[in-house]
């Protein structure tokens, strides 16, 4: 057992040192005389690049809960910022969270920090340890982690979300559709914005995307909810170009009627 633990620590160190970015995913085949390990491992840091000791990494088998509620698997981040999820092969949706209370469960609250991997789900194969690192970010208000929410990438859109007085609107987020029918579930979602209202929306494909913004995470907009579109009809759509983050300017959110 001591040998296995030592071997795993050496493996993690080699994997993490080879990662180019905090959200890069790397497949590592574990081979050797020790018992084979399968799972996901990595490092969790905060936005100052310090170890996020006490954070938790959660793995869900599907997105039915929008990455909230009890997870199928969880691992606590140690004093050096590392974690290991001992898993069987399969696809897993991941999220890292650090609650101000220090608890490992409970609803997200303002002031908590969280992070998603570069891409969900993460695929784990037998006898492999997938390296996934996280950099935690704070949120102005809790939000559901929708499927289609990417926290890094090279293709997408940027801009600013403002209220009816043209002031930044913390806690709002952008939703994107392949056409200008905004009545369905969005195909892509940005993380919620901070105090400056600036957003980054990363998308998985090039081509047309129609953008809107809101502050609630469930259902159709309700009366009074801050809501806005980039523009009416085709004016609310932009074409994503591979390898470019296109600044679309300002999206103004006003009370929905």
Quick check: helix, strand or coil at residue 10? helix
Q: 219: pLDDT confidence band, cut at 50, 70 and 90?
A: confident
HSE of 256 in the Cβ direction (CA atoms, 13 Å)?
A: 14
Q: CA nearest 152: which of 20, 17, 16, 253?
A: 20
Considering the chain, what percentage of its residues have pLDDT values greater than 90?
43
Whether the per-residue pLDDT at 17 is higher than 80: the answer is no
2-138 placed in CATH 2.60.40.1120:
yes
The one-character DSSP state at 149 is: B
How far apart (Å, rounded) are the C-alpha atoms in residues 188 and 204? 8
Point out the least confidently predicted range of 67-76, 143-152, 172-181: 143-152
Residue with tokens 């199928």: 72
Whether the per-residue pLDDT at 202 is higher than 50: the answer is yes
> What residues are paired with 115 via a beta bridge?
96
Whether the per-residue pLDDT at 141 is higher than 60: the answer is no
Residue spans of the domains in the chain: they are 2-138, 156-255
How far apart (Å, rounded) are the C-alpha atoms in residues 23 and 11? 18
Whether the per-residue pLDDT at 155 is higher than 90: the answer is yes
How many Cβ atoms from other residues are within 10 Å of residue 203's Cβ? 19
Average predicted confidence (pLDDT) for the chain:
79
How far apart (Å, rounded) are the C-alpha atoms in residues 50 and 182? 40
Instruction: Summarize the confidence of residues 57-67 as an average pLDDT.
Output: 83
Q: Tokens in use for 255? A: 């009370």
pLDDT of residue 230: 96
pLDDT of residue 106: 60
For every residue of 61-109, DSSP letters joined together read SSSTTTT-SS-SEEEE--TTSEEEEE--SEEEEEEEEE-TT--SSS---
156-255: CATH superfamily: Carboxypeptidase-like, regulatory domain (2.60.40.1120)
Quick check: helix, strand or coil at residue 233? helix
Q: Tokens in use for 107? A: 């609803």
Three state DSSP letters for 24-56: CEEEEECCCCCCCCCEEEEEEECCCCCECCCCE
For 26-39, the pLDDT digits (tens) are 444 343 323 578 99
pLDDT of residue 35: 54
How far apart (Å, rounded) are the C-alpha atoms in residues 253 and 215? 9
Helix (H) or strand (E) holding 201: strand 198-202
Residue 144 or residue 215, greater confidence: 215
Instruction: Summarize the confidence of residues 115-121 as an average pLDDT.
Output: 81
Point out the least confidently predicted range of 107-116, 182-191, 200-209, 238-247: 107-116
The one-character DSSP state at 15 is: H
Q: 2-138 and 156-255 share one CATH topology? A: yes
């Amino acid at each position: 057992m001591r040998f296995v633990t030592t071997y795993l620590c050496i493996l993690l160190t080699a994997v993490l040192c080879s990662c180019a970015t905090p959200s890069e995913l790397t497949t590592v085949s574990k081979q050797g005389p020790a018992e084979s390990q399968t799972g996901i491992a990595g490092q969790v840091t905060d936005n100052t690049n310090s170890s996020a000791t006490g954070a938790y990494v959660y793995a869900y088998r599907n997105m039915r809960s929008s990455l909230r509620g009890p997870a199928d698997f969880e691992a606590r981040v140690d004093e050096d910022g590392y974690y290991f999820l001992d898993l069987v092969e399969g696809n897993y949706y991941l999220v890292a969270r650090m609650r101000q209370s220090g608890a490992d469960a409970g609803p997200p609250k303002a002031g908590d920090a969280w992070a998603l991997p570069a891409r969900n789900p993460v695929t784990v194969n037998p006898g492999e340890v997938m390296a996934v690192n996280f950099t935690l970010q704070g949120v102005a208000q809790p939000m559901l982690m929708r499927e289609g929410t990417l926290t890094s990438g090279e293709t997408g859109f940027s801009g600013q979300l403002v209220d009816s007085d043209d002031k930044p609107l913390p806690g709002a987020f952008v939703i994107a559709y392949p056409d200008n029918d905004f009545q369905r579930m969005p195909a892509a979602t940005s993380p919620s914005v901070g105090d400056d209202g600036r957003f980054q929306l990363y998308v998985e494909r090039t081509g047309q995307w129609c953008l809107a913004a809101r502050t609630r995470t469930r259902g159709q907009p309700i009366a009074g909810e801050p809501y806005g579109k980039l523009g009416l009809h085709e004016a609310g759509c932009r074409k994503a170009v591979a390898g470019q983050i296109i600044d679309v300017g300002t999206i103004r959110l006003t009370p929905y009627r």
